[in-house]
Each structure stands twice: as C-alpha cells, then as structure tokens.
Amino acid sequence: MKPEVVLLDEPLANLDVHLRESMLREFKEFHARTRATMIFVTHDQTEAMAVSDRIAVMNSGKLAQIATPQDIYDRPEDRNVARFVGKGSIVPVLVTDVHGETCSVDVWGHKTVFRCRRDQPPGKAYASLKHSDLGNGGGGLPCTVLNSVYRGGSTLFEVMPQANRNEADPLRLILPGHVVRKTGEQLAVSINTGWVLPDA
C-alpha cells in the first residue's frame, strides 16, 4: 500500500507501555518509507511529541495553536495551551525590559530573564512555567508543598509560592531521586527561565 493520507484515531489507546513504544517506532518508519501525510489523533502528549512534525491543539472544538512540537511546548500562544501541553503553570509577572526575544521580569520580587516575543510590551503580563524551567536551591522563592509523588527515579512536587495571592497556579517541580517533603513543609524553588504569554 502507498497511501497519500493516513488517519490514526487514538491507535495506541489500549496498549501497554512497551507495545506503545514499539508501535510509535513502526509509525515513524512507515512515515519515512511512504512519506504519506499522517494525521494522528491522541490525548497523549508524549505520543504527539514523539511522532509529529507539527501539532494542532484543540480547545472547545477550535484550533488553539498549530506549530512544531518544540514551539507548542516552549512558546504556547495562550494560557489554555500552556496549561494543557506539559502541564504548565501560569504566573503573573512584571516585564521591566525587553531585549530581542528575551526580557527582564520580576516574579514576586524574584528578578530573572524569560523568553518572549520581540513585540512584547513592558508592564504587567502572565508567563508560563514548565517543570523544566524550575529548580531547587538557595535564593529561590519560598514555597509550600501541596503534594508530592515518587515516580521512580524522580519525585514530582506540587508547590505554591508563599507570595502568591490567588493569582497563580501551583508550580510543578521535579527533583531527581526519592526526595521526602511533607505537605505543608517549605521548599525553595528557583526560576531559571519561562515564557511570557502573548495573550494578556
């Protein structure tokens, strides 16, 4: 068979992890061999990132963003895409200076540099923070642990900055190994970078 278009509607939904990985390799090899246009419908972001040249994110029946996997993850168009892809957290920021595709921001008194569009105006804005943008260390934002889950090789923390006034989502921080922190304990979270959202 040499199809021009192939539609795959949740093809891996009922398979175990190892078989899903094997089938993803098969799909990539099939695409390389046939060069067919493949439309892959899935709710699994890992699958979408693994096989796609471009991803279309739907929200309420409308296309929210179409872009490469890297752009969808690193530069979401709005808060809905930012929260959905990679489970980003939305926080208020103050953009103090813009220089090219980066800008100086103030996040609850913590000054750092975020990525942004070249036409980003200074002033109040919102930013997306992924777990990969965060770290743990001295000089970070004081946060309160809401929840923690050991995932085998790493621990996922959900924390709330103590300076937050119901303006932001909890932050998701992943630390290597089995790290024990009880609910209510403090954890310092450093913000290494982030993305200033184009929407207000």
The pLDDT assigned to 66 comes to 96
The pLDDT assigned to 14 comes to 87
Query: Does residue 54 sit in the same domain as residue 32?
Result: yes
Residue 170 backbone dihedrals phi, psi, to 5 degrees: -60, 150
Query: Does residue 119 sit in the same domain as residue 25?
Result: no
The pLDDT assigned to 139 comes to 77
Query: Does residue 58 sit in the same domain as residue 104?
Result: no
**What mean pLDDT value characterizes the chain?**
92
Query: Does residue 112 sit in the same domain as residue 66?
Result: no
CA dist 54 and 48 (Å) reads 9
Domains of the chain: total: 2
- Burial class of residue 107, CB neighbours in 10 A (0-12, 13-18, 19+): buried
Residue 147 backbone dihedrals phi, psi, to 5 degrees: -165, 155
Query: Does residue 2 carry a pLDDT above 90?
Result: no
CA dist 57 and 82 (Å) reads 11
The pLDDT assigned to 65 comes to 95
- Residues 24 and 47 sit within 8 Å (Cβ to Cβ): yes
Query: Does residue 103 sit in the same domain as residue 68?
Result: no
Residue 74 in 3-state DSSP?
helix
CA dist 68 and 75 (Å) reads 10
Q: Which of 47, 131, 134 is nearest to 82 (CA)?
A: 131
Domain boundary among 64, 87, 110: 87
* Residue 18, domain CATH: 3.40.50.300
Which residue range(s) make up the domain with 66?
A: 5-87
Query: Does residue 63 sit in the same domain as residue 112?
Result: no
The better pLDDT of the pair 140, 148 is held by 148
Query: Does residue 79 sit in the same domain as residue 111?
Result: no
The pLDDT assigned to 200 comes to 55
Query: Does residue 164 carry a pLDDT above 90?
Result: no
- Residue pLDDT, tens place only, 27-83: 999 999 999 999 999 988 888 998 899 999 999 999 999 999 999 999 999 999 999
Please, which residues bridge with residue 145 across strands?
159
Domain boundary among 54, 87, 120: 87
The percent of residues in the chain predicted with pLDDT above 70, rounded, is: 99
Query: Does residue 115 sit in the same domain as residue 28?
Result: no
